Amino acid sequence: ELGNVVGRRGGEEGFNTFLQAWMKIQPLNVPGRRAMPQFHLSEGQVDDLAEFLKWSSKIDTNQWPPNKEG
Task: Flag whether the pTM goes above 0.75.
Answer: yes
**What is the SS3 assignment for 32?**
coil
Q: Specify which of 5-14, 26-35, 42-51, 61-70 reaches the highest per-range mean pLDDT.
A: 42-51
Q: How many CA atoms lie within 13 A of 47 on its CB side?
A: 4
Domains of the chain, each with CATH number or no CATH: 5-57 (1.10.760.10)
> What phi-psi label fits residue 26: left (phi over 0), alpha (psi between -120 and 50 degrees) or beta?
beta
- 49, pLDDT greater than 90: yes
Q: Where are the alpha helices (DSSP H) in 1-63?
A: 5-8, 11-24, 43-57
CA pair distance 51, 32, nearest whole angstrom: 31
